[in-house]
Every structure is written in C-alpha cells, then in structure tokens.
Amino acid sequence: MKIIMLGAPGAGKGTQAKMIAEKYSVPHVSTGDIFRANIKNGTELGKQAKEYMDKGLLVPDELTVKILLDRVAQEDCKNGYVLDGFPRTIPQAEVLDKALTELGEKVDYAIDVDVPDENIVNRMGGRRACLKCGATYHVVYNAPKTEGVCDVCGEKLVLREDDKPETVQKRLTVYHDQTQPLIEYYDKKGILKEVDGTVDMNDVFAAICSILG
C-alpha cells in the first residue's frame, strides 16, 4: 500500500501520516527526515544534497527522487509506505511516477486532507512552541496548564515565525500555486481520495481508514 499525503501546510497531514503508518505497519517516509538522515550519515546522495542546501538552493527533483527511492527500497518498505512532503509539484510527481513504473510499482492512493485557508491561518496562529524542549501547544486545542509556559520544562512559549498569519498566508499562496495542481493530477489517475480536515483528527483518521479498508 503506497500512499501519498496531500494538503496545505497546517492541514494535519503529517499527523495523519504517522497514524496511518502505525495502524497499517508501514513506514512514515518524510522527505525532510530522509534528507537529514542521509546528510548525517554522510552518504553519497546526502553529500550531493548538502551541496545544494549549503548554497541555499532547492535540491533538484531527480536527486530528491533518488534519495526517496533509496529509502523505499529498504526492507521495511516492502509492504508499502506513507509519503509525506513529496511530491510538491507536478514535475516531481512525474519523475516519481516514471521511477516507480520502471520498478514495476505505482502509488495506490493520494489522500488530500482538505482544510480551507481561513481555518489554517486560525489553527497555526494559535500554535505555541517551547524553543528549549521542542514541546508544542495550541491555545485552543491543546493549551498548556499555565498560559504561555511549557508544561514540560517551564520555559516561556513563543509564536514561531512560521506560524505568524502573514507567513502562513505566504506559505498557502505557494501551496496553491505549486502543490494544489497535484490534486487534479492524481484525480485524473483515479487514485485521489479527499477527506474533510476540519473535523476532529480522530474523525479524519476514521475517514482515511474507511478509504484504505
């Protein structure tokens, strides 16, 4: 079962990807994690990716797909995987499809966690993070015991730059320009499944499970 997660930043697709991975005993494959692992382990692909990243450049699609295929060729992926964070553009999706076809494989489901922009801006604007221990909270859905203070280590909580409304709006604009066309791309292939991401995360997960069976 090979699954791609789609959805705007803050739609909760990462959380759903982890829950799917746990329930169906397949790895949650996040491109960010793979890059970090390859760079940390000093692999040949990691060194190539680091050269681009050190210059502040995006890693080319072909190299990203190579790193991804290297990861999904590992033993733990033999029954499938959940891809989170890739593909982000049509060219990336095409490179991935071509590479999987050459291996006699294909993506089974592209699951879009659908959340309107306004919900995402409100949702992310309510996030608070502890820069010391990494714990995250939400002023409405997961508030700390004491307002503005981390439950774990007692440090002051902050609204990260990434979560400020103007930054979120910029990220959403990029998403609509680059990533949203993937929804139509996978719909034409007949593998797109949409779920309502505005409901409770357990209800979102239940909807995904009813699709996956």
pLDDT mean by block of 10 residues, the chain; 213 residues: 94 93 95 89 93 87 91 92 92 92 94 95 92 91 94 95 90 90 96 96 97 93
pLDDT of residue 54: 87
The set of catalytic residues is: 13, 88, 127, 160, 171
| Per-residue pLDDT at 190 | 97
Instruction: Could you please state the CATH topology (level 3) that the domain comprising 2-115+178-212 is classified under.
Output: Rossmann fold (3.40.50)
Which pTM value belongs to this model?
0.83
Amino acid identity for residue 209 in this structure: C
Task: Give residues with Cβ within 8 angstroms of 136, minimum separation 6.
Answer: 127, 128, 129, 130, 142
Question: Cβ(11)–Cβ(116) under 8 Å?
Answer: no
Q: List, in order, residues 6 or more apart from 55 with CB less than 8 Å away.
A: none
SS3 212: helix
The secondary element (H helix, E strand) that includes residue 137 is: strand 136-138
pLDDT score recorded for residue 144: 96
pLDDT of residue 71: 93
